[in-house]
Amino acid sequence: MSVVGTGYLGATHAACMAALGHDVIGIDTDPAKVAALSSGTVPFWEPGLDTVLQDSLRSGRLHFTTDVTEATDAAVHFICVGTPQRSDSPAADLTHVHGAVSALLPILTPESLVVGKSTVPVGTAAEIADHVAATGARVAWNPEFLREGHAVDDTLHPDRLVFGVRDAISEATLCEVYATLLADGTPLLVTDFATAELVKVSANAFLATKISFINAMAEVCEATGGDILTLSTALGLDPRIGPQFLRAGLGFGGGCLPKDIRAFMARAGELGVDEALMFLRNIDDINIRRRQHTVDLTIEALNGSARGRRVAAWGAAFKPDSDDVRDSPALHVAAALREAGADVVVHDPRAMDNARRLFPDLSYAASALDAARDADVVLLLTEWRDYNELDPAEVAAVTRQASLIDARNALDVDRWRSAGWTYRALGRPLA
């Protein structure tokens, strides 16, 4: 099989498919990326992926290339390229998807199966099927459900498999590809193209809704003196709701949820059902508002002005266990405070290099303690476990003021307050 696109999704999928016993060719237009992966180096941080990659390379079942013709004999071609937001609209940019299909056309045969894994607007699979029809090749859609920080486990032990197919041969081929996972009891849903495409975007829209809902409740708690942690615990005990994605805080970011809900809204408009998804606009607004609220709380803690004040920003990645800084709420807050005149010093256990490339004007520190040195306020912006392990008294000793804003509700409030810190968290009482 081939995997076209060796970014986060493609590299993970290629390495894991080889680990399952398949012969895999990873294809990418970027020679540097191909060279890195061929040497066993993962060009991003994902726990455990380096081991799977290196084992798969040593087995001889995996190699990478820039030459698509090396996949001529592959029976299955997975499309794993990015679908970013367009620069001129909220819609998804399908340039890479169409480019991947066009690159495959010369080697497709009636025995070929083109399988989409990229997150795409509903209707894309049907368009691709029309595009490849002259070759006799079949098309299927098999959406990914990877969580950054858990991608290897999510690939090798998924909570479900979804096959969007038009014929029994395509279904049988995918069953063969995933035979090990199906034998382990992974639930399988076989459906049409449109439903398979909608499963992924609907899941992301639902998760975004749940996160923004609890953040909206945090706003109400702040206005009334309520405690969002107690409220979210009570909600999570309801089996109809559940506790996941009910941690109030700075909100979501990354390369999936923000752009996916916007693309979903844009596609709904194209289909004439935009009213059905109008609520997602509010979801997006609530999420963005948390970033500005954190900036406002910080300036309030600095007595109304950030100019000339030193701010420690703990966290740069959009979530822990990742070095992904795309649409990172943490960096958005840090950059906004710098724009307001603050001297902002950032620390992150894994995302420092990516943060520097995206925001070279920010300052960076080698440790959380160094970032906090002489700080007037410390911000917890990404909930890395590393920050929970810090000694509050040791941190207080190096700051100018022991003032902390926990924008992720991740730290032990009693532990930090007992060490003399002025502790503020989103959606929680002041004392």
Enumerate residues 6+ apart whose C-beta is below 8 A from 153. Answer: 48
Give the angle subtended at the CA of 10 by the CAs of 8 and 11, to the nearest 5°.
70
Among candidate residues 292, 319, 118, 333, the one with its CA nearest the CA of residue 211: 319
Return d(Cα 370, Cα 157) in angstroms, integer: 39
* Residue 352: C-alpha distances to residues 24, 348, 368, 374 (Å): 32, 6, 12, 20
Among candidate residues 281, 275, 258, 352, the one with its CA nearest the CA of residue 313: 352
- Joined tokens for residue 307: 């100019």
- Torsion region of 42: left, alpha or beta (phi above 0 gives left; psi -120 to 50 gives alpha): beta
Quote the crossing angle between the two packed helices 124-132 and 193-224, to the nearest 10°. 150
Output phi, psi for 140, to 5 deg: -140, 160
Catalytic residue among 16, 80, 221, 256: 256
Query: Quick check: helix, strand or coil at residue 431?
Result: coil
Burial of 61 (0-12, 13-18, 19+ CB in 10 A): middle
Output phi, psi for 54, to 5 deg: -65, -40
Return d(Cα 51, Cα 151) in angstroms, integer: 13
The residues facing 138 across adjacent strands are 113
- Joined tokens for residue 95: 């340039």
Return d(Cα 24, Cα 17) in angstroms, integer: 7
In 10 A of CB 172, how many CB atoms?
12
Q: Are 46 and 151 in contact (CB under 8 A)?
A: yes
DSSP 10: H
Output phi, psi for 351, to 5 deg: -105, 15
Active site residue 256: yes
Helix spans in 248-323 (H) = 257-270, 279-301
Please list the active-site residues: 256
